[in-house]
Amino acid sequence: MSDLNWTLDGPTGSPNFDAGFHTDWFMVHAAGRPGGGASEAMEKLCRTYWYPLYAYVRRKGHGPQEAQDLTQEFFARLLATPWLEDVHPSKGKFRAFLLASMNHFLTNEWRREQTQKRGGGQVTFSLDAVEAEDRYRIEPAHGQSPDKVFDCDYAKALFDRIEMLLRSECFATGKGVLFEELEGIFDGRVNQHRYAELAAKLGMTLAALKKAAQRLRERYRVLLRAEVAETVNDPGEVDEEIRSLCAALCA
């Protein structure tokens, strides 16, 4: 995601949401309430952010198995705790909320004597231990603090999620092949020097391909701004948070 500066250039008005678009804070609220999509919300929350938190726990000095257990237990307790109902975006950025909650868990909750199996038999999300450790092993060495690296992993997870949402939209509307050819515009792998080649490959005019790429960027921007808007305290903080996320990737 080295070419994301363009995401800051779009309109700053309220973005349009698809009805089924669940953002982080919405998922926290839904996961904290009984019924009403709580299971789906939990799965989405865990699926998006399990790896940044797993990697964070590993960098805090825990081994693979312990990090897996801790991360699973963290999500189980986080989403089963009554105070989750009172969590609101006004209490800060979702990114900071996640990290602070994990630090609280690591320094306090896990020190308690376990009276039953981890997760109390209630864990509904299971980490793929092989995938987690494989991803952790191939990460480049960092001279930064675990907190800084968490921000980078969080940013990657968020941007990957936006790209996944856009991919799903394109395939649902019969534009999957176009998306696959152009998805490199989001990380710099595809630039305008390749447009003529791709236009010929797709049987499109160069002007039509450029327009399609522009629309993909615009839709990506809408999804990204909508997502980030739900993770900060004030709409005026959206651009700042996007800049912070881009900076975390480049650090």
Sign of CA dihedral 139, 143, 149, 155: negative
Q: Does 207 score more than 80 pLDDT?
A: yes
Distances (CA, A) of 174 to 30, 168, 209: 31, 10, 16
pLDDT given for residue 144 in this prediction: 75
d(CA 36, CA 43): 14
The domains of the chain are located at 5-11+20-114+123-250
Considering only CA atoms, which of 161, 205, 202, 194 is closest in space to residue 178? 202
Structure tokens given for 25: 């804070």
In this model, does residue 192 exceed pLDDT 90?
no
The confidence band for 164, taking pLDDT boundaries of 50, 70 and 90, is very high
* pTM attached to this predicted model: 0.67
Query: Residues 30-56: pLDDT tens digits?
Result: 555 555 555 666 667 677 888 899 999
